[in-house]
């Protein structure tokens, strides 16, 4: 995960949630894709968090427009994490309530819990979650 700061040189609206732009004194094309509508204009100072792909294009997962005091990011993975934690809790409930009734439910519950824990592990390794955790730690960006 990288954090880049710069002034917008030019931008092209793709959708209300996606924009491609270039920054002054920074090489390459940047693309921002977030759940909310983006806010930027030529000359605005942006701080973005994301990563480059194999072609050299920088994909931003979160941004802060310092000129207009606006910020945004994707919420999708937070909802996914909440769902996975809920499913893991459900798995524990199934395991402890049905453990004495059916031997098969013990195995199913343990498999279900293991899948939930693996999914949480991969969520925590996701670049988007790293970007969000980093941006939340920066008071200037997410305060």
Q: Is residue 143 part of a domain?
A: no
What is the C-alpha to C-alpha distance for residues 49 and 64, in angstroms, rounded to an integer? 9
Window from 50-54, 99-103, 120-124 with minimum mean pLDDT: 99-103
Domain coverage including residue 103 = 76-135
Q: Are 63 and 34 in contact (CB under 8 A)?
A: yes
Q: Please say if the pLDDT value at position 100 is more than 70.
A: no
**Is 53 found in the same domain as 43?**
yes
For the chain, give the mean pLDDT: 75
For residue 48, give every residue at least 6 positions away whose Cβ sits within 8 Å of its Cβ, in sequence order, or none.
3, 4, 5, 30, 32, 58, 60, 62, 63, 64
Q: Is residue 140 part of a domain?
A: no
Domain boundary residue, one of 74, 89, 107: 74
Q: Please say if the pLDDT value at position 131 is more than 80.
A: no
CATH of the domain at 11: 2.40.50
The first and second tokens of residue 105, run together, are 């439910």
Q: Is residue 125 part of a domain?
A: yes
Residue 54 pLDDT: 83
Domain count across the chain: 2
**Which tens digit of pLDDT belongs to each residue from 42-82?**
988 988 888 888 888 888 888 888 888 887 876 655 666 67
Question: How many other C-beta atoms lie within 10 A of the C-beta of residue 129?
Answer: 19
Query: Looking at the chain, how many residues does it have?
Result: 143
**Is 6 found in the same domain as 58?**
yes
């Amino acid at each position: 995960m990288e954090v880049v700061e710069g002034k917008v040189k030019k931008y092209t609206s793709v959708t209300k949630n996606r924009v491609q732009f270039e920054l002054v004194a920074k090489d390459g094309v940047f693309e921002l894709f977030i759940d909310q509508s983006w806010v930027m204009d030529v000359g605005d100072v942006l701080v973005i968090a994301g990563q480059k792909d194999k072609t050299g294009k920088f994909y931003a997962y979160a941004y802060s427009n310092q000129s207009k005091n606006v910020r945004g990011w994707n919420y999708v993975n937070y909802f996914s994490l909440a769902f996975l934690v809920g499913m893991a809790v459900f798995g524990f409930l199934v395991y402890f309530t049905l453990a004495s009734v059916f031997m098969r439910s013990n195995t199913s519950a343990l498999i279900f819990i293991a899948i939930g824990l693996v999914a949480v592990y991969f969520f925590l390794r996701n670049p988007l979650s790293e970007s969000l955790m980093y941006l939340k730690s920066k008071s200037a960006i997410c305060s």
